[in-house]
Each structure stands twice: as C-alpha cells, then as structure tokens.
A and B are shown apart, each in its own frame.
Chain A
Amino acid sequence: MAVQVLMPALSPTMEEGTLAKWLVKEGDVVKSGQIIAEIETDKATMEFEAVDEGIVGKLLVAEGSAGVKVNTPIAVLVEEGESADAPAAAAPAPAAAVEAAPVAAAAPAAPKAAVEVVSKASPDWAEGTPMKTMTVREALREAMAEEMRGNPNVFLMGEEVGEYQGAYKISQGLLDEFGAKRVIDTPITEHGFAGLAVGAAWGGLNPIVEFMTFNFAMQAIDHLINSAAKTNYMSGGQLGCSIVFRGPNGAAARVGAQHSQDYAAWYAAIPGMKVVMPYSASDAKGLLKSAIRDPNPVIFLENEILYGKSFEVPAVDDFTIPFGKARIWREGTDVTIVSFGIGMTYALEAADKLAAEGISAEVIDLRTLRPIDYDTVLASVMKTNRCVTVEEGFPVGSIGNHIGATIMQRAFDYLDAPVINCTGKDVPMPYAANLEKLALVTTADVVDAVKSVCYR
C-alpha cells in the first residue's frame, strides 16, 4: 500500500522548511534509513532519512521549494506494481495532527509579510528612510558583522558559533569572514568561558559571548554578576567591562522546564548590568550594535521563536538605537499595555482584538530593562489611566511587578484601576503541548486583563 512521506519537524520551533535537495528520483527503491532528501530548517541543513521501504512513486514537492509546512506530504512510496496515484495512507506522522495540506501549498511561499507598525511615526528613524525586510536572525548577524568590521577588538565566542555556523545560525558565515581568531568555538564550559571573556574585556578586548541558551548561563551567572557587573564599582571606576552576553532566552517550544526560563527580571535586578530584550529586527540590530559599543556589561536576551520573524529594518549605514528608550508601537487612549521581547507578540495581538471591540490600547515595548524608560510608561498611563504588563517570565518579582510599583508611586492619582501583570504561570514549564500553552502568557490573558481594568 502506498505511504505518504511527510515534511518532518527537525527542531523544536520548526514550522516550515525548504526542501533543498532530493537524493532520490521517481522509480528509485528506497530502504529504511536511507537518506532521501536534504531539508533546510531555520537552524541548519539536515539530512532526511526514509522510515518506510518502497519505491518512490512520486515526488510531490519540487527541489528548492521554500516554506514547506511541517507534515505536508512531500513524496509517495509505493510497492512494486502499485500506482502512485492510488490513495495513499499517511506515514506514521509526528505527534501533531496531520493537516493534509493541499500539495499546492508546498509551492515556494511568498516571503512573509513583515509586522506592520501601527504607530504613525517611529522615533528610531526619519520618515522616508529606505527600509529592507529581514528576520531577527539576520539582523543580529548583521549587527555583529558590522561591529566586527569596525573594531578589531570585537570577537565572538561560544559553543558552536564557528564551524557549526551557530546552533541557531545567528553566527552563520562569521567564521569565514573573520577567521578563527575572532570567532571562537569553546568547549562546553559556560562558567569557564564566561569568566575568561570577562578577563579578556579587562584586558582591553570587546567580547561577545553567545550562550546557546540563557538557561545554560546559570552555570556562569557568578561571572556575569560578581565579576562583570560589580567590578567597576568595587574598583572605584578603574575596571569597566565592555562585554555582551547574548543568546536565546525564555521558552522555545516543547523543550521542558530546564530550557524554558525567562531571565529578564533576574538580570534587570542587578546594578552595573545593562539588560536588553528586543522584539523586532530593527531593535535587535540597533540595540545589539549599541550593546557591543557600550563600555559596560550588557545582557542581551533574544528569543528563539522570534529569530525567524521578519520586520522592516532601516537600510542605512550604522543604524543604532540608544538604551533606555521605549518604543510606542501603537497609540491608544483607553489602556496602556507595557511589554518587551516576545511578550510584544501577545500585546500587539491583544491590541488588535481589543480594537475590534472598541477598546483603544497603547502598546509600549520597553526594549531595554536596565535602564528602563519610565517616562514613556508614566506619560502613557497618565493619559490612559490604566495599565496591563505582559511578559513570559514567572510572576513573582517580575518586571511587571516593578512597573506596577513604579506607577503606583509616581502616578497613583492617575490610575482608574489596579495594574495587572500578565506573566507566565507560577509553575516549571511542562512538556505536554496542552500544558505548555497554559503555562505561557496568552493573547487571551492580555485581552481579559485589559477588559478587567477597563471594567468591561
């Protein structure tokens, strides 16, 4: 009986990929375990092995097709004498339900539309600035490459940043351009290489340290805080430390409790540290360039799910964004939604839904959590009289708690309702798909919170 071969999910966050190359042709006999195709994910090009045996009856997706959704049938295997056009049973599919997508959908997809900016004017670039669409991943890479070109003391170190081209492909191509002296693969030794990089910064270099995830940086946190952040103070200003610690932070998808924590509030608590958590590609680029130039230690919190998301980025030389300046993504009059990082996804989605129900939300992206742009938040709350904060981290000691407390102290008389903090739930991240969804903050949480503060 004919079986369908489906587009596989080859990483926790992969939703679609490119069928880079077929290694078999119609009529070939395929053995179980044989490599039949090369598939490019957002992270890497992977070999795809056949699970079933049979004859390649039909290749449903042409070589080079991009945007092929996971679980799309890409080929049909038949038994000898069987027609490829016979109704095919789905091959044992990965856990998710098989949405038998029409084959046509597998044709090269149009580039994803970039997220629209609803706010009339952006403070980050002048009107009429030429723009280009790029992913957060490309923006981060471009920021590092530009800064490395401009300053020979900037170097990148971390696990798999060089020959592997980056665990998440952020550093793809940097080894080729800058060589092994400046793109340094480390052993798996977070505590050690974080400390070594701080020493190198004291020695006059400008290290960029990539953590494969900030979850692993807990092994190194003593050096981030005690060595990098405190020494300028302890030395009476003699020993600043120009260093960037960057990497994905927070939940990806289905990776369980030890790989899913958001550390924004932890690092933002530390004087001597600067903390950045960008949402868009333009912020990722402009803020990472500023981070690399900053004479202080900067924690740069990225998000794996945002890496592949596209945005408009100014196509100008040397585009930077200063720290401590929030961005108003959407202007509104009824409520202020304050968020940062991937929380912005829920904040903006909620604002759309609320608009349809006649509630006008102003959405503020803090962008940097130390320093925090209190003025923009307070000015907005004084206008809307209501505030909801959105973040993925744990609820106790969250950034939202701090924003709420600040509003209470500095704008109490303007508040018409208590500030509500939408956060991740107070549980270690579960693995099960349904529980994971419940543990994360959702757009529905934000909508409900806004309605609550608006007494609707």
Chain B
Amino acid sequence: MATKKAPERPNVSKEELLKYYREMLLIRRFEEKAGQLYGMGLIGGFCHLYIGQEAVVVGLEAATKEGDKRITSYRDHGHMLACGMDPKGVMAELTGRIGGYSKGKGGSMHMFSREKHFYGGHGIVGAQVPLGAGLAFADKYNGNDNVTFTYFGDGAANQGQVYETYNMAQLWNLPVIFVIENNQYAMGTSVKRSTKSPSLWERGAAYGIKGEAVDGMDVLAVKAASEKAVAACRAGDGPYILEMMTYRYRRHSMSDPAKYRTREEVEKMKSEKDAIEHVRDLLLQGGLATDEDLKAIDKDIKAIVNEAAEFSKESPEPPVEELWTDIYA
C-alpha cells in the first residue's frame, strides 16, 4: 500500500469532513466496545469486527439517497451504523437481547432494518450477492432509480454465485453496485494464496461490467467512486464494480489467532494508512478544526457507545415465547 499521504486541501467542506470523521469514529469505538463485551462473555458466537475498514461504508453511504438499499456479509456492524441504524439496537442484538434489531434471534451476523433498507447481515459467504442483485431487480421492476450496494469480501469473490450474478446483473442492466471489500485476507488465506487474478474488479470485464479499484482507506476517494457508480446505476447504466482496497486491523473473528500475518504488517497499515487519522489530519492541518473540536466529538461518540453498551446489558433476554414467533410471516 502507498505511504501516508501528505494532507492536501481537497475540495470538500469542513462540515462534510467532520461528518465522515464522526461516522468513522462511531464505528471504530462501537467495535472496540463490542470486542470488550465479547471478552466479558456478553456477546456470544461469532463476532467479526470492522475496525480498519470504516472509510469504505462511510464513503459509499455519502452518495446514497432515500430508498437505496444495502446488503452485506457477516462483517456487518459498520454497515448498519453507517446507514443510520441505532447503535443501541445493534449492540443489543450482539448481546442477544429483546431490544436488538432481530429481537435477539439473529445475532451479530443476522441483523436487518426494513426502515433503513438494510437487508443483512448474511452468514453464508457470497450468498448476499445474488440477493442484492434481486433487490436491485425489484427496483428496476418498480421503475424507480434506487440502487443497491451489494458488499462482499475478497474471499467471497471466489464463489461461483458471484459470477452467476454478474452475468444476470449485466444481462438485465440491474442497478446494483458490487462492492468488493478487499481487506487482503479471507479469514487466514491471503488473496495471493487464493487467486492468481491480478485484481478482483477486473473479473467483471468478462461480463462487460465496468469497475475500478479504489483506495478504501481514503474516505474521499471512496465517496468520489461511489458518486460515479451511483450515477451510472441511476442512469440505467448499471451494474458497477468497486474494489475497495482496505485492511482489517482485528482478527477475522474473535477466535482467530491471526498467525497468517505479522504484527509489523498490521502496525504499518495502522500508522501509515489509517482512514480516521487521515481525515483528522485533513481537519487539523487544513485549519478546519481544532484539537478541542475533535476531542468534543470523541467525547460525544464515547457517550453514544457507552449508552449502547448499557442498553445492550439492560435490555432483557427475549421472553421464551419468542422461540415460537416469526417462523412464518
């Protein structure tokens, strides 16, 4: 990855930068808290943290409008916070409580919000890809100009159903943006060890789908790419592939010993490419905010996250009757 960029004066407003800073920080602090609660035994099962990849969802969401949809894999907490879901409801789902988005019945990997057009949260690697194309199919059928962001990782990019979906999406011009979050590792297998393809987005060329690789650690680059892809899809010129070059700081899941990469590699990414630090530098060195301003935001975020954690502990477990509800609509 490239070395740390010299802060430059991008064509972006102070308000916008502060918004990204805030949103990315919320995801990071939320995930840190989730990791802590997991360690305390309050969160069970699998728990996949998004730390390091925050610029991807925040940058992509910056180009959305009401009615746009999103769907992703099991590493989904960041996507939910970025599309405006309530941190309390997300955290309470992680702790398996009635106040969670799925009443405690879905867990970390299976959360949804009709209201925010967030369609999960899917535990089967790659399954969300045709599902996302189907959401886009419905928008096209209904004749609106909404788009669907369909996220998947570099690991899922080797699943056959991804390419079945590429074929149909292009055949039917579906307004779907395939976002490959290439965080370099599919659990313990690096991209180099799982494919000889030089890049993942270029595979779309076989189906005639346009795409590009994007610096997924730079929220402004992500936003610019998102705007381009969204414009194409809204104009009926979808689908579109965006390969986000990003990095996961934490382990694949809480139970991953992470022996497949060096501590130095992780530290280098953190010190040279961190997405939040990048925006922080832009704000401070551009004279758009002071240390005090940012500290106030930090404090604010901390309060939101603590409130979510408290809620997730206080919200009761689902009543036993919930075992038998929601099996059928």
**Which residues from chain A sit less than 8 Å from chain B, CB to CB?**
153, 155, 181, 186-187, 189, 191-205, 222-223, 226-227, 231-242, 271-272, 274, 295-296
Q: Given A191-B160, A295-B329, A296-B329: A236 and B106 within 8 A (CB)?
A: yes
6 contacts between A and B (CB under 8 A): A192-B130, A192-B167, A195-B133, A196-B134, A232-B328, A236-B103
Q: Nearest CB to that of B165 among chain A residues? A: A192
Residue pair A202, B130 in contact (C-beta under 8 Å) = no
A73 vs chain B, min Cβ distance (A)? 47
Residue pair A233, B327 in contact (C-beta under 8 Å) = yes
Query: What separation, in Å, do the CA atoms of A189 and B171 have in the docked complex?
Result: 13
Q: Given A199-B131, A227-B127: A192 and B164 within 8 A (CB)?
A: yes
Q: Which 6 A-B pairs have the closest CB atoms?
A: A199-B134, A203-B138, A240-B329, A192-B164, A195-B130, A236-B103
Query: What separation, in Å, do the CA atoms of A226 and B121 have in the docked complex?
Result: 12
Interface size on B, residues (CB 8 A): 46
Residue pair B105, A236 in contact (C-beta under 8 Å) = yes
A276 vs chain B, min Cβ distance (A)? 14
Residues of A within 8 A of B161 (CB): 191-192, 195
Query: What separation, in Å, do the CA atoms of A397 and B110 have in the docked complex?
Result: 30
Residue pair B328, A195 in contact (C-beta under 8 Å) = no
A290 vs chain B, min Cβ distance (A)? 14
Q: Mark B104-142, 1 if CB is under 8 A from A, else 0.
A: 111000111110000111111001011111111111011
Query: What separation, in Å, do the CA atoms of A222 and B159 have in the docked complex?
Result: 13
Residues of B within 8 A of A226 (CB): 123-124, 127
Q: Given A200-B134, A235-B112: A193 and B168 within 8 A (CB)?
A: yes
Which of B100, B124, B133, B326 has a CB less than 8 Å from the CB of A199?
B133
Which of B69, B131, B171 has a CB less than 8 Å from the CB of A187?
B171
Q: Given A236-B105, A238-B113: A196 and B329 within 8 A (CB)?
A: no
Residues of A within 8 A of B130 (CB): 191-196, 198-199, 223
Residues of B within 8 A of A236 (CB): 100-106, 112, 326
A199 vs chain B, min Cβ distance (A)? 2
Q: Given A187-B168, A204-B138: A239 and B328 within 8 A (CB)?
A: no
Report B76-113 residues with CB < 8 Å from chain A CB. Answer: 100-106, 110-113
Query: What separation, in Å, do the CA atoms of A187 and B168 have in the docked complex?
Result: 8
Residue pair B110, A234 in contact (C-beta under 8 Å) = yes
Q: Nearest CB to that of B112 among chain A residues? A: A235
Query: What separation, in Å, do the CA atoms of A321 and B129 have in the docked complex?
Result: 36
Which of B101, B133, B326 has a CB less than 8 Å from the CB of A233?
B326
Report B133-160 residues with CB < 8 Å from chain A CB. Answer: 133-139, 141-142, 160
Residue pair B110, A235 in contact (C-beta under 8 Å) = yes
Residue pair B131, A235 in contact (C-beta under 8 Å) = no
Residue pair A195, B127 in contact (C-beta under 8 Å) = yes
Residue pair A237, B167 in contact (C-beta under 8 Å) = no
- B325 near A: Cβ within 8 Å? yes
Residue pair B164, A231 in contact (C-beta under 8 Å) = no
Query: What separation, in Å, do the CA atoms of A241 and B329 have in the docked complex?
Result: 8
Residues of B within 8 A of A237 (CB): 103, 325-326, 329
Query: What separation, in Å, do the CA atoms of A192 and B171 have in the docked complex?
Result: 13
Residues of A within 8 A of B103 (CB): 236-237
Residues of A within 8 A of B122 (CB): 227
Residues of B within 8 A of A223 (CB): 127, 130-131
Residues of B within 8 A of A241 (CB): 329
Query: What separation, in Å, do the CA atoms of A338 and B132 have in the docked complex?
Result: 42
Residues of A within 8 A of B113 (CB): 238
Given contact pairs A195-B130, A203-B134, A234-B121, a sample of 5 additional A-B residue pairs in the complex whose CB atoms are under 8 Å apart: A187-B171, A189-B164, A192-B164, A233-B327, A296-B328
Residue pair A202, B119 in contact (C-beta under 8 Å) = yes
A223 vs chain B, min Cβ distance (A)? 7
Residues of A within 8 A of B71 (CB): 199
Query: What separation, in Å, do the CA atoms of A191 and B104 have in the docked complex?
Result: 29
Query: What separation, in Å, do the CA atoms of A66 and B31 have in the docked complex?
Result: 71
Residue pair A195, B129 in contact (C-beta under 8 Å) = yes
Query: What separation, in Å, do the CA atoms of A226 and B135 have in the docked complex?
Result: 17
Query: What separation, in Å, do the CA atoms of A195 and B129 have in the docked complex?
Result: 8
B67 vs chain A, min Cβ distance (A)? 11
Residues of B within 8 A of A191 (CB): 130, 160-161, 164
Residues of B within 8 A of A272 (CB): 327-328
Residues of B within 8 A of A153 (CB): 141
Query: What separation, in Å, do the CA atoms of A223 and B123 have in the docked complex?
Result: 12
Q: Nearest CB to that of B150 among chain A residues? A: A199
Residues of B within 8 A of A295 (CB): 328-329
Query: What separation, in Å, do the CA atoms of A213 and B69 have in the docked complex?
Result: 32
Residues of B within 8 A of A192 (CB): 130, 161, 164-165, 167-168
Query: What separation, in Å, do the CA atoms of A69 and B127 have in the docked complex?
Result: 48
Q: Which of B110, B112, B130 is packed against the most chain A CB atoms within 10 Å?
A: B130
Residues of B within 8 A of A242 (CB): 329
Residue pair B168, A203 in contact (C-beta under 8 Å) = no
B288 vs chain A, min Cβ distance (A)? 40
Residue pair B134, A222 in contact (C-beta under 8 Å) = no
Residues of A within 8 A of B106 (CB): 234-236
Residue pair B127, A222 in contact (C-beta under 8 Å) = yes
Which of A194, A227, A238 has a CB less than 8 Å from the CB of B112?
A238
Residues of A within 8 A of B123 (CB): 226
Residues of B within 8 A of A233 (CB): 105, 326-327
Residue pair A205, B329 in contact (C-beta under 8 Å) = no
Query: What separation, in Å, do the CA atoms of A318 and B106 have in the docked complex?
Result: 38
Q: Which of A193, A195, A296 is packed against the most chain B CB atoms within 10 Å?
A: A195
B284 vs chain A, min Cβ distance (A)? 42
Q: Nearest CB to that of A182 among chain B residues? A: B141
Residue pair A189, B168 in contact (C-beta under 8 Å) = yes
Residue pair B327, A195 in contact (C-beta under 8 Å) = no
Q: Which of B103, B121, B129, B131 is packed against the most chain A CB atoms within 10 Å?
A: B131
Q: Which of A153, A186, A203, A240 is packed against the most chain B CB atoms within 10 Å?
A: A203
Query: What separation, in Å, do the CA atoms of A150 and B124 have in the docked complex?
Result: 36
Q: Which of A196, A204, A205 is packed against the most chain B CB atoms within 10 Å?
A: A196
Residue pair B137, A200 in contact (C-beta under 8 Å) = yes
Residues of B within 8 A of A189 (CB): 164, 167-168
Residues of A within 8 A of B101 (CB): 235-236, 238
A52 vs chain B, min Cβ distance (A)? 44
